[in-house]
Amino acid sequence: MKTTIPRAFGMAAMAACLAAPVLAQSVTLDVTAWKGNEAEPAGLAELIEKFEGEHPDIAVELSYIGRLDTDTVIPPRLQGGDPPDVMMTDMPLVEIWGDAGLLADLGKDSEWWGRIPADLQSALESGDATYIMPLEVIGMGNFVNMGLLKKVGIEEAPTTIEELKETCGALADAEINPMIFTGGFSAPLLLIANGLEGSDDAAAALGSGDASFAENAAFDAGVDLIRALEEARCFDGRQQAGLDPWSTALSEFTGGNFAMMPQGAWNIGAFREIEGLDFVFAPLPSARDSGVALDLFGIGWSVASASENREAAQTFVEWFAKPENLQVMLDAESAYSPFDDGASGTPEQARPYDEARAAGGVINYPFALLQWPKSLEGEIWDSMTGFLLDTSARTNEDLLSRWDEAVEDDF
């Protein structure tokens, strides 16, 4: 699906046009993204309209291509000499396309590179090159229906494991379903967050095979935690293990049928549109008083090395890095800035998650930064689904050894 965003005119746009550098000739940028459609607009229509108003010599043709489709649609264009000029990417794509020489090095002498925190800089580097300009970091935490919690006298979302167990018990006593806990997403989030929080091994060591999940005491305790939560009546594994986390689970939560659901902050905007849904987005409960803010480095812009409009493409990318422009996307996505200015677009519903981040309870989701191989993610979802179907049938070592095997098979 292709959508051409119209140009904007007016006094403000006219002034910006006069101030903007003018290219030798007008160009049309071919931009692809898995945001910008009706379901996830991400502010792109507004931003592209503004960009074109400030750069009358650059038109933008935005093509929406889903993330899964991007893996198959874009490579033939990159390899066949007909690449998009600018592409929405994430680190798994950057690793593949950058190593193949299909992406332009954006360099480290730009103003925006200097504003990225050092730990994120190191994750975004590809050797001496930089192939992605980051756009956002999105939280993964616990959605909590406060209307249901208040029915049992609880006024705050749980942030510790003990608070979570007590909340589950009170809800279950009142015949309110405490949690949606799918094996394909929500259960792994809680286990990964608690495992990494208590681990003596770095995430990268576990993802490279230098350390073992099966021999890691924190992940062993994390599996026991899942069993303990089921015993505390937080969820029924057999009933929920195979629920689709991207459709059924969401509708069950928004319909008020469950009180809590680990998921991503990208749902906040849609949830706010549901009349009568009183919810907050909280950290994942853990041993810390603050809980865990599991941050996902999401998306960025990359430029094709074979782009015929490299100068215009670079202008487009750098324009998005300006705080006043990026803020539009952050607001639309309920996201955090990847830069060191502390900007965010999170609404009041995300205050508990914001507080966890401020308290230092942040853990980066290891798949998004290539600390864990992509194949391991699928194995975790599959193995957790099987585990939840009967948490007493398998040992911790059985479960975690499958994770180690997935890491070994990737090398």
Q: What is the pLDDT of residue 69?
A: 94
Residue 177 one-letter amino acid? N
Read out DSSP for 188-199? HHHHHHHHHHH-
| pLDDT tens per residue, range 39-48 | 889 999 999 9
- pLDDT confidence band for 3 (50 / 70 / 90): very low
> Does the domain at residues 16-135+298-333 carry the CATH identifier 3.40.190.10?
yes
Rounded to 5 degrees, φ, ψ at 8 are: -110, 145
| Residue 345: alpha-carbon gap to chain centroid | 14
Residue 37 has pLDDT above 60, yes or no: yes
Q: Cite the beta strand spans of 137-278 per DSSP E.
A: 137-145, 260-264
| Residues 145, 267 contacting (CB under 8 angstroms) | no
Residue 62 has pLDDT above 60, yes or no: yes
Tell me: pLDDT of 171 over 60.
yes
pLDDT of residue 22: 52
Fold agreement (16-135+298-333, 138-296+348-409): yes
For residue range 246-274, list pLDDT tens digits in order.
Answer: 999 999 999 999 999 999 998 998 999 99
Kindly state the average pLDDT of the residues 321-342: 95
- Give dist(CA 132, CA 306) in Å, integer: 16
Question: How many C-alpha atoms does 298 have within 13 Å on its Cβ side?
Answer: 22
Q: Is it the case that residue 299 has pLDDT exceeding 60?
A: yes
Which amino acid appears at position 37 of this protein? N
Structural domain boundaries of the chain?
Answer: 16-135+298-333, 138-296+348-409
Amino acid at 286: S
pLDDT score, position 40: 86
For position 17, what pLDDT does the model report? 45
Which residues are bridge partners to 138 per DSSP?
Answer: 296
12-16, 122-126, 355-359, 384-388: segment of lowest average pLDDT: 12-16
With a pLDDT cut of 90, the percent of the chain lying above it is 89
Q: What is the DSSP string of 99-139?
A: HTT-B----S-STTGGGS-HHHHHHHEETTEE--EE--EEE
What's residue 198's pLDDT? Answer: 97
Which pLDDT score is estimated for 150?
Answer: 98
Q: What is the mean pLDDT of residues 126-153?
A: 96
**pLDDT score, position 329:** 96
Long-range contact pairs involving 255-258 (C-beta distance under 8 Å, separation at least 24)? 256/145, 256/147, 256/148, 257/177, 258/145, 258/177, 258/178, 258/179, 258/180
| pLDDT of res. 25 | 62
Residue 119: pLDDT band by 50, 70, 90 thresholds? confident
Categorize the per-residue pLDDT at 14 as very low, low, confident or very high, splitting at 50, 70 and 90: very low
What is the architecture of the domain spanning 138-296+348-409? 3-Layer(aba) Sandwich (3.40)
* pLDDT tens by residue, 180-218: 999 999 999 999 999 999 999 999 999 999 999 999 999
**3-state DSSP assignment of residue 249:** helix
How far is 221 from 247, CA to CA, in rounded Å? Answer: 30
Q: Where residue 311 falls among pLDDT bands split at 50, 70, 90?
A: very high
Q: Which two tokens stand for residue 281?
A: 């987005």
**Residue 5 — pLDDT band, cuts 50, 70, 90?**
very low
Rg from Cα positions in the chain:
22
Q: How many CB atoms lie within 10 A of CB 170?
A: 18
Task: Output b/e per residue, 68-101; b: 16+ Cβ within 10 A.
Answer: eebeeebbebbeeeebbbbbbbbbebbeebbeee
* Percent of the chain residues topping a pLDDT of 70: 94
Q: Look over the chain and give the mean of its residue pLDDT values, rounded to a whole number.
A: 93
